[in-house]
């Protein structure tokens, strides 16, 4: 299977035909802001902010005004200058972030403050240390707001994470797939996890229970 990368992000609007017998895609505008492959995107719930990860240590976040083309480019303030691999908005102005490479086994949390997305060290989620293999961008971060459930696949592990009452994040369960290539998702209602890995022929399904 060949994976295609894109250097330019295109904003597409879905339009229905007069009698709903066809769908027309209209490109509203594009963001040509990266010099290398774009490997992850996340849009916040209000569709007012977009964060993107690209190879080559270029991470960007954008904001827009209602019914207008994107006009703001937010600055990142991060402690480690490395490229991002995965990102997911959890709230309108807060997202979790995973770096690429072998050395960093953490989920970092960024929050918008005074026009800058700043890393919040107090909310950093420590993952199992494994500096023998690279992380991989397949199986993006999944967030189910109703279940307060975040699914993070990092290296050989799948983590179930929840935001606690104090605003910090906690790993409530984890699954070791014991292999590097892992692909998966959860059902829309957050009840089942489905994933595919190199160790098993076929899909594995787990029911996710509240703890």
Tens digits of residue pLDDT in 112-164: 888 888 889 999 999 999 988 888 888 999 999 999 999 999 999 999 999 99
Task: Please count the other Cβ atoms lying within 10 Å of the Cβ belonging to residue 4.
Answer: 5
- What CATH number does the domain containing 126 carry? 2.130.10.10
CA–CA gap between residue 126 and residue 105 (Å, rounded): 7
How far is the CA of 165 from the CAs of 5, 45, 89, 168, in angstroms?
Answer: 39, 21, 18, 7
Residue whose tokens read 């899909």: 203
pLDDT of residue 20 exceeding 70:
no
Q: In what order do the strands lie in the sheet with 157-163?
A: 142-144, 149-154, 157-163, 169-176
First to last CA, the chain: 38
Q: How many CA atoms lie within 13 Å of 73's alpha carbon, on the beta-carbon side?
A: 7
How far is the CA of 10 from the CAs of 4, 13, 14, 31, 153, in angstroms?
Answer: 15, 10, 13, 6, 27
| pLDDT at residue 91, as a whole number | 87
CA–CA gap between residue 48 and residue 93 (Å, rounded): 9
Helix (H, G, I), strand (E, B) or coil at 121: helix
2 inside domain: no
Closest to 65 measured CA to CA, from 82, 43, 49: 49
| pLDDT at residue 137, as a whole number | 83
| pTM for the structure as a whole | 0.80
Hey, what's the torsion of the CAs at 96, 102, 103, 105, to 10 degrees? Answer: 40
Strands 182-186, 169-176: pairing is unpaired
37-84: per-residue pLDDT in tens? 788 889 888 888 888 887 765 566 666 665 555 556 666 677 666 778
What ranges in the chain are assigned the alpha helix state H? none
Q: Which domain holds residue 115?
A: 9-207
How far is the CA of 13 from the CAs of 16, 28, 61, 201, in angstroms?
Answer: 10, 7, 20, 38
1 inside domain: no
| pLDDT at residue 126, as a whole number | 95
| pLDDT at residue 21, as a whole number | 59
178 inside domain: yes
134 inside domain: yes
Structural domains counted in the chain: 1
| pLDDT at residue 66, as a whole number | 55
């Amino acid at each position: 299977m060949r994976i295609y990368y894109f250097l330019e992000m295109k904003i597409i609007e879905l339009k229905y035909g007069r009698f709903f017998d066809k769908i027309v895609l209209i490109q509203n505008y594009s963001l040509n802001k990266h010099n290398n492959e774009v490997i992850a995107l996340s849009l916040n719930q209000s569709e007012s902010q977009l964060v993107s990860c690209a190879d080559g240590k270029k991470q960007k976040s954008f904001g827009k005004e209602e019914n207008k083309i994107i006009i703001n480019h937010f600055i990142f303030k991060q402690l480690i200058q490395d490229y991002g691999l995965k990102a997911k908005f959890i709230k309108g102005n807060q997202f979790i972030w995973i770096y690429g490479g072998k050395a960093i086994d953490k989920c970092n949390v960024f929050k918008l403050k005074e026009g800058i997305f700043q890393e919040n060290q107090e909310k950093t989620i420590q993952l199992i240390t494994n500096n023998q293999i690279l992380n991989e961008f397949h199986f993006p971060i999944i967030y189910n707001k109703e279940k307060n459930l975040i699914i993070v696949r990092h290296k050989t592990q799948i983590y179930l994470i929840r935001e606690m009452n104090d605003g910090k994040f906690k790993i409530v369960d984890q699954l070791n797939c014991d292999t590097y290539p892992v692909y998966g998702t959860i059902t829309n209602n957050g009840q089942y996890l489905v994933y595919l890995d190199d160790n098993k022929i076929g899909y594995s399904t787990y029911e996710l229970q509240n703890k």
